[in-house]
Structure 1
Amino acid sequence: MPNARIRAVNAATESESLAPRTVINWNPTDNTGSVLFDCARFYRTQGTFDYFGAPEPDGGISVSLDDLLVRSVDVPTPQGIVAVPLPLLMGAIKILFDQLYNEQRGG
């Protein structure tokens, strides 16, 4: 299946939509919120990761945490594809916050 984020511009150039700004709005007391992917279109030499020029705005994608929590994502690893349930990712972010808070603000 082709990747809709990548488009041919001409024989030498393609564009790729990336999310250089991703915002997680999360109420940790009830696990409600949303994720906003603020997209921009970057240009590169066809078939490479040699980006050039200024990115152009490409809109945004917003999804509620309720919609995400029922999903999993397939993550490629050296051992093969691992299906990661999104609640596992949410738990990892909570633990990361706890660790970083204690490292940076702990007594």
Structure 2
Amino acid sequence: MAIIVSEEQRTIRAEIVSPRIVINWNPDTDTGSVHFQVDEMEYRDGVFHQLTPRGEYALTLQELMQRSVIVGEQEISPLLVIGYIKQLFADLHAEYAAD
């Protein structure tokens, strides 16, 4: 989501981003939460100017399981995302453990 404003020969573009996403997961109960840090990233005349904190969005893993998203034209389920993250961790752990 971008907001573009022009003022006195300058173009200012602001975009809402989440540069930090934290997943809290209890593997014993399969519960937890996801927290999205919300920042506004501002560019002036195409050059990064500042990152301003705007708060946080949070949802429980139970709430996450009720949602799906469309990426391109494909619907992605939460189970696919969770499976990807778990497998990525398993692969990384195997790589680091081998060192």
Q: TM-score, normalised by structure 1?
A: 0.78
- 2:67 matched to 1:67? no
Name segments (4+ residues, structure 1) moved above 6 Å: none
CA contact (8 A) 1:42 1:51 kept: no
The answer to whether the 8 Å contact 2:68/2:78 transfers is yes
Of all paired residues, the percent bearing the same amino acid is 33
Aligned partner of 1:82 in structure 2 is 74
- Residue identity opposite 1:28 in structure 2: P
Q: CA deviation at 1:88?
A: 1.4
Report the Cα distance in structure 1 between the residues aligned to 2:14 and 2:68, rounded to whole angstroms.
27
* Distance (whole Å) between structure 2 residues aligned to residue 92 and residue 19 of structure 1: 20
Partner of 1:99: 91
Q: How far off is 1:55 after superposition?
A: 0.7
C-alpha RMSD of matched pairs (Å): 1.8
Structure 2 gaps of 5+ residues are: none
Q: Distance in 1 between matches of 2:60 and 2:83?
A: 17
Change (3 A) 1:51 1:87: farther
Paired residues of 1:34 and 1:63 also in contact (CA < 8 A): yes
Compute the displacement of 1:20 (Å).
0.8
**Residue 13 of structure 1 aligns with which residue?**
12
The answer (yes or no) to whether the contact 2:43–2:50 under 8 Å persists in 1 is: no
Q: Distance in 2 between matches of 1:51 and 1:64?
A: 36
Number of aligned positions between the proteins: 95
